[in-house]
Amino acid sequence: MPKNAGSQRHPHGGSLVTSTGGLILLHAVPAHLTSHVRWSLENILGTTVQLRWEPQPHVVAHQRTELSWNGPAGTAAQLASALRPYTGSFYEVTERPTQTTSGLRIMHVPDLGICSVPVDAHGNFTVTEDRIRYALEQAAGDFNTLYDHLALALGQPWDDQLEPLRPGALLHPATRNIDADQGGM
C-alpha cells in the first residue's frame, strides 16, 4: 500500500474512509490572491495552513509555493475545485493511489482550465478504453490527429504550459507538510 494510505473512520460518520495524500503545487498565483488561496486550502483541509510564498520569476506579480497534504481520498478534487475561481493561477494538485482508489493529477492553467488525469500505483498516467476508442474514431487513420488526441488525454498541453514554472518544485525550500487527518503539522 502507498505511504500514508490506509483506512480510518470518517470524522462525520461511522463508515471507513480511505486515507491518502499528495501535493499542492501552486506554481503561479496573482500576489493579491495569496491570502484568499490560503483560506480556501484551510477550509478544505480543516486546519491552519502556513505557506511560504515566493516570487514566481517567470510570471510578473505572481507568487509560488507548495504544500504536501494527507487526508481522505477525494481531497485532491476538492482542493482543485476550491482553487479554480482564482483566475490567473497555474497549479497542480496530486493524490496518491491507494489499494481501492486510483491516484490523480489535476492541472490548471488559465487559458485551458482544468485537466484531471488518473494515476496508477506506479505513477503512470492512465487513459480509459473509451478515451482511446474516441481518439481512434476521431483520427480515422490519421496518425497526427491520433497523436493530438492522445496527448490531450495525457494532459500534454497543460504540462507544456506548467513546465517552465516547475524548476526545482519538489526540492524547493517553500515546501510545507500538512496532515489534514491530524488537524495540523
Q: What is the CATH number of the domain that holds 99?
A: 3.30.70
- Tell me if 181 is assigned to some domain: no
Q: How many domains does the chain have?
A: 1
Host domain of residue 32:
19-126+155-165
What pLDDT was estimated at residue 79?
98
What pLDDT was estimated at residue 95?
98
- Tell me if 14 is assigned to some domain: no
Distances, alpha carbon 126 to alpha carbons 84, 103, 111, 174, 185, in Å: 23, 10, 24, 30, 32
What pLDDT was estimated at residue 14?
54
What pLDDT was estimated at residue 178?
54
Q: For residues 8 and 1, what is the distance between their CA atoms, to the nearest angstrom? A: 15
pTM score of the predicted model? 0.81
What pLDDT was estimated at residue 15?
60
Segment-wise mean pLDDT, segments of 10 residues, the chain, 185 residues: 49 70 98 98 96 94 96 97 96 95 96 96 93 96 96 96 79 52 49
| Cα atoms found within 13 Å of the Cα of residue 25, Cβ hemisphere only | 25
- Tell me if 97 is assigned to some domain: yes
- Tell me if 86 is assigned to some domain: yes
- Tell me if 68 is assigned to some domain: yes
- Tell me if 171 is assigned to some domain: no
129, containing H or E segment: helix 129-139
- Tell me if 72 is assigned to some domain: yes
- Tell me if 31 is assigned to some domain: yes
What pLDDT was estimated at residue 17?
75
What pLDDT was estimated at residue 185?
42
